[in-house]
Amino acid sequence: MLKLLSHPERLRILMELVDGEKCVGDLTNCCESSQSQTSQFLMRLKLEGLLEHRREGRLVYYRIADLRIVSVLQALRRCFC
């Protein structure tokens, strides 16, 4: 899990999702990467079991699947943000 958190963009995506699910477009806007890169980051996090997704029409929404990560992210936010 810590290896996944070591990449700045993956960490930024997860920090955004602590507050609730978001669509790919919203996550792309908050990150400094293209939509294709953001999608790749999301896919990696999903494959590792940290994220889940749901489709609503053409939009795909992501949320944190492993709630243990929320505690880690909240601790990081308290210490460093």
pLDDT digits (tens, 9 = 90+) for 8-36: 999 999 999 999 999 999 999 988 788 89
Q: How far apart are CA 28 and CA 43, in angstroms?
A: 14
- Tell me, what's the pLDDT at 81? 77
Q: How far apart are CA 61 and CA 34, in angstroms?
A: 17
CATH fold, domain 2-80, is Arc Repressor Mutant, subunit A (1.10.10)
Which pTM was predicted? 0.89
Q: What is the pLDDT of residues 51-81, one digit of tens each?
A: 999 999 999 999 999 888 999 999 998 988 7
Residue 64 three-state SS: strand
Is the Cβ–Cβ distance between 62 and 51 less than 8 Å? yes
Which of these, 80, 25, 23, lies nearest to 51 by C-alpha position? Answer: 23
Read off the tokens for 75: 């601790």
